[in-house]
Amino acid sequence: MPASDAGVRPATVLARGWGWRHAGRATPAVHGLDLDIEPGERVLLLGPSGAGKSTLLHALAGVLGDGVAGDGSEDDADETGVLHLDGGAPRGQRGRAGLMQQDPETQVVLSRLGDDVAFGAENLAVPRDEIWRRVHEALDDVGLAHLPLDHPTSALSGGQKQRLAMAGILAMRPGLILLDEPTANLDPAGVLEVRDAVGRCLDKTGATLVVVEHRVSVWKDLVDRIVVLRPGNAKDPAVLLDGPPDLVLEQARDMLTAAGVWVPGYVPATRARIAGDQAALENAAVDRADIGGPAQLLLAAEGLAVSRERPRRRGFKTIPPAPVQLGITAQVRAGQALTITGPNGAGKSTFALTLAGLLQPVEGHVSATLELSEGAGIDPFKWKAEQLIARIGTVFQEPEHQFVTGRVLDELMFGPRHLGHGGERVDELLERLRLTHLVEANPYTLSGGEKRRLSVATVLAAHPRVLVLDEPTFGQDATTWAELASFLSELLDAGTAVVSVTHDEEFTAVLGGSELRLGPASQSGTRQEAGAA
Amino acid sequence: MRNVLSIRGNEALLTRANPLAKFAAVVLITLVLALSIDWVSASTALLGELALFPLAGLSLRLLWQRGWPLIIAAALGGWSTSILSADSGRILLDAGIWSISEGSLQLGLGFMLRGLAIALPAILLMSCTDPTDLADALAQKAKLPHRFVLGTLAAMRLVGLMAEEWQTIGMARRARGVGSRGTPSQRFRAMLGQSFGLLVQAIRRASRLAVTMEARGFGGSERTWARESSYSLLDAWVLLGGVLLAGAAALAAQWAGTWNFVW
């Protein structure tokens, strides 16, 4: 028997009345948790946001700060009850548990593939020969063995980065594997890639698993138990439901869907488009006749070659960047949806940002019709920022990138103030996107779904006629998803053009309209698209 | 930044030397050149360094591509020195308040060559040294604390990401109506806001990375090293090369009588 297999001893988890309050917070993130996880069990942890799922995972990984038991002052973190890993505090047991988080970029530590896998084993003072044996084995287990050990980690896709993180965890031979929304930032292909790699590793090592994830269907067949947590409050016990997947999903279906969990076989109800089919028919006619009709042409791209990189200077020469995608032609019409799809790194986001007047085309043109430009000129890239936001609004994948003030209300008033008109639409947006109770909050402190709704609202407050969205449904729970889809369908019916980059087929189905499918990145463009992976 | 100075694909001889040996040789040369402003020691060192280029996998073209700002800065420095320094000897060019004399031209030339001779070894070192190997050598051989060395190494990887993030935040803010064009003061304010956005993202990323590292057992007092940083015969040659180059520069200047000790 190889030494490596002997190394894995599945871990047990025991919680008795465990609770945790983060430093500076009034209410605990987790309260009164009683939980037993047997060696080798695989548990999916569900619950609404704010139920303390991540806090529990961090605690089991031993990376929560030191708790001061029973102190009671709000400045220190506060731990109550008992949380044991193999009968002892997780903090003192480095390497017994391995944790994978959501953002692939921060799961990579070193710049060469092999070194990154070796990092954890090195920290546990594993002898050198054994480290490299483990590195090769772990890379093989996650399906990355075809890459050389000095392969740059920056050149990996999001799914590959998460598999690399899994390899790094495996090389520590942990008895407990903790996954905190490991696939929330990945496209559908990446999700399956990571899920399958995790499954293979568990089958081989027999380690205990605790995974937190909104998309139940992805993990349902891999786990043998689902635990549902109640949102943190200081009275009721933290565990709401606990049992085999099918039973829990049946018992708690309504409650889970209400909490925004993606229960298998459930597509949340959305508002249907009124003008959808009719407009599509008219569009076909307009395309042939190329004039008139209610589907007014607003924006057109012709023979577009796109790249995120700016022209580079090499000595005295200026070299244009290598485009990721060439020869794109597309039209954006009032009241119609345009969906941009395609594999990872195909330059979808890059194209959308170019269309939105934020990147300069490498070749070809983006031109606004008079209907849209209203005298601002034909090229959106040359528009001033105030001219741009009143015509084309862009919602970025990461909402935080677009926050420019410290208060939700200021955030919404920012566009209208710059344009010199009042915030007559702001109240309506606040109401419609359920942000009214948050007007005084700091945008950075909102939950993921709230941040997404706010970022859409802030862009719409400037009344753009074209709305461009980059992966608007990534990592969103079912409730936010349905709200967003319904809201966009309303906008479309009201005459706004909606351009979205997305992998989400159900979302595309709700919006209707036409699809622009981009092929794999052009051979000359070697760089992977950042973020949109 | 990273792709410009990257050494990936470089298989030249000096990439196999221990980073510490290379570092020591570079420090030695720089130190000697810093002692005197004269064109003989600087040009001797410069010639020697150019001769070493192939060993580091560099060519003149690559050097120009990677180091052109430094080269232009050195040339400008030399030019302004020859214009502005006190005249001595025959006047070669006189344009009112600007004049170039034999003495000031010599000083300016010395200044430029010295700038180049000091900058080149650093470019040479970077183009044939992997940051990971340098960290290994610093922790294992120079016995610097590994928490510090590895923490810095991991943070450096984020710097490349931050460059991309800067561009994204710039676009995201334009999409909110914050213009990065306009008057200098508007641009300055836009840049401040963008810097703040970047700072927030940098702190978030850094704290997540710190959690990742801690969860991989980082921070204990004992650790092993998957890659052994070791010295070989090559490193003795590298050190010897550094000593010879520094020595040759100093001796040549002494012999030519141009050595002028700045203190």
DSSP 8-class letter at A37: E
Residue A261 CB partners (closer than 8 Å, separation 6+): A46, A48, A214, A216, A477, A478
Q: Residue A383 pLDDT more than 50? A: yes
CB contact under 8 A, A402 and B175: yes
| Helix locations, A220-376, DSSP H | 245-251, 253-258, 276-289, 348-355, 370-373
Query: Mutate which of B5, B71, B176, B229 to disrupt the A interface (most A C-beta within 10 Å)?
Result: B176
**Which positions in chain A touch B166 (Cβ < 8 Å)?**
none
CB contact under 8 A, B132 and A111: yes
- Please report the ipTM that was assigned to this predicted complex: 0.84
Tally of CB atoms within 10 A around B142: 12
Residue A282: per-residue pLDDT: 52
Nearest chain B residue (CA) to A356? B175
Q: What is the pLDDT of residues A219-253, one digit of tens each?
A: 999 999 999 988 766 677 888 889 999 999 988 88
Residue A444: per-residue pLDDT: 87
Q: What is the pLDDT of residues A510-524, one digit of tens each?
A: 998 899 998 887 644
Q: Residue A74 pLDDT more than 70? A: no
Confidence of residue A66 (pLDDT cuts 50, 70, 90): low
Confidence of residue A277 (pLDDT cuts 50, 70, 90): low
Distance, CA of A41 to CA of A58 (rounded, Å): 19
User: Secondary structure of chain B: what % helix, strand, coil (to 5)?
Assistant: 70, 5, 25
Domain ranges of chain B: 2-130+230-256, 142-215
Q: CA of B230, closest CA in chain A: separation in Å?
A: 14
Residue A40: per-residue pLDDT: 94
Per-residue pLDDT averaged across B223-252, rounded? Answer: 93
Q: CA of A419, closest CA in chain B: separation in Å?
A: 9
One-letter identity of residue A308: R
Confidence of residue B18 (pLDDT cuts 50, 70, 90): very high
pTM: 0.83
One-letter identity of residue B211: V
Residue A51 CB partners (closer than 8 Å, separation 6+): A229, A230, A231, A232, A238
Q: Residue A137 pLDDT more than 50? A: yes
Q: Which residues in chain A (370-399) have CB-CB distances under 8 A to chain B?
A: 384-386, 388-389, 393-396, 398
Q: What proportion of chain A, given as a percentage, has pLDDT over 90?
A: 50
Query: Mutate which of B140, B205, B216, B225 to disrupt the A interface (most A C-beta within 10 Å)?
Result: B216
Residue in A194, A121, A132 with CA at minimum distance from that of residue A161: A194
Residue B1 CB partners (closer than 8 Å, separation 6+): B159, B160, B163
Nearest chain B residue (CA) to A455? B176
Q: Between the CA of residue B37 and those of A192, A213, B259, what are the distances in Å?
A: 64, 65, 8
**Backbone phi, then psi, for A62, in 5-degree steps?**
75, 25
Q: CA of A246, closest CA in chain B: separation in Å?
A: 32
Q: Residue B2 pLDDT more than 70? A: no
Q: What is the pLDDT of residues A306-365, one digit of tens each?
A: 998 877 766 667 778 888 888 899 999 999 999 999 887 788 999 999 999 999 999 999
3-state secondary structure B74-116: HHHHHHHHHHHCCCCCCEEEEECCEEEEHHHHHHHHHHHHHHH
- A111 near A200, Cβ under 8 Å? no
DSSP output for B115-174: HHHHHHHHHHHHHT--HHHHHHHHHHTS---HHHHHHHHHHHHHHHHHHHHHHHHHHHHH
Structure tokens at A104: 């692939």
Per-residue pLDDT averaged across A202-224, rounded? Answer: 92
Beta-strand pair A97-100/A176-180: parallel
* Higher pLDDT, residue A133 or B4: A133
Residue in B34, B51, B33, B42 with CA at minimum distance from that of residue B106: B42
Q: Which residues in chain B (229-258) have CB-CB distances under 8 A to chain A?
A: none
Question: Is residue A136 exposed (0-12), middle (13-18) or buried (19+ Cβ within 10 Å)?
Answer: middle
Query: Average pLDDT, whole number, for chain A?
Result: 86
CB contact under 8 A, B171 and A94: no
Q: Residue B25 pLDDT more than 70? A: yes
Structure tokens at B81: 């020195």
Q: What is the pLDDT of residues A425-463, one digit of tens each?
A: 898 899 888 899 899 999 988 888 889 999 999 999 999
Confidence of residue A2 (pLDDT cuts 50, 70, 90): very low
Residue in B6, B10, B9 with CA at minimum distance from that of residue B160: B6
Q: Which residues in chain A (149-188) have CB-CB distances under 8 A to chain B?
A: 150, 152, 154, 165, 168-169, 172
CA A185 to chain centre: 4
* Higher pLDDT, residue B41 or A293: B41
Question: Is residue A332 exposed (0-12), middle (13-18) or buried (19+ Cβ within 10 Å)?
Answer: buried
Distance, CA of A330 to CA of A366 (rounded, Å): 9
CB contact under 8 A, B216 and A393: no
Q: Note whether B217 contacts A: Cβ–Cβ < 8 A.
A: yes
Residue A419: per-residue pLDDT: 86
Q: Residue A75 pLDDT more than 70? A: no
**Backbone phi, then psi, for A268, in 5-degree steps?**
-60, 145
Burial B241-261 (b: 16+ CB within 10 A, else e): bbeebbebbbebbeeeebbee
Distance, CA of A336 to CA of A316 (rounded, Å): 46
Structure tokens at A119: 């990092």
Distance, CA of B85 to CA of B77 (rounded, Å): 11
Distance, CA of B101 to CA of B89 (rounded, Å): 6
CB contact under 8 A, B172 and A401: yes
Q: Which residues in chain A (427-486) have CB-CB distances under 8 A to chain B?
A: 444, 458-459, 462
Distance, CA of B167 to CA of B116 (rounded, Å): 32
Q: What proportion of chain B, given as a percentage, has pLDDT over 70?
A: 94
- A93 near A85, Cβ under 8 Å? yes
Residue A82: per-residue pLDDT: 93
Q: Note whether A101 contacts B: Cβ–Cβ < 8 A.
A: yes
Residue A244: per-residue pLDDT: 94
Q: CA of B176, closest CA in chain A: separation in Å?
A: 6
B176, B204, B209 ranked by CB distance to A404: nearest = B176
Q: What proportion of chain A, given as a percentage, has pLDDT over 70?
A: 89
Q: Which residues in chain B (48-77) have CB-CB distances under 8 A to chain A?
A: 64-65, 68
Q: Residue B64 pLDDT more than 50? A: yes
Query: A39-48, A164-173, A413-422: which has the minimum mean pLDDT?
Result: A413-422
One-letter identity of residue A347: G
Burial A56-91 (b: 16+ CB within 10 A, else e): bbbbbbbbbeebeeeeeeeebbbbbbebbbbeeebb
* Alpha-carbon torsion angle A349, A350, A353, A354, nearest 10: -150
Beta strands in A280-432 (DSSP E): 297-306, 312-314, 317-319, 325-333, 337-341, 363-368, 392-395
- B91 near B105, Cβ under 8 Å? no
Confidence of residue A168 (pLDDT cuts 50, 70, 90): very high
One-letter identity of residue A219: W
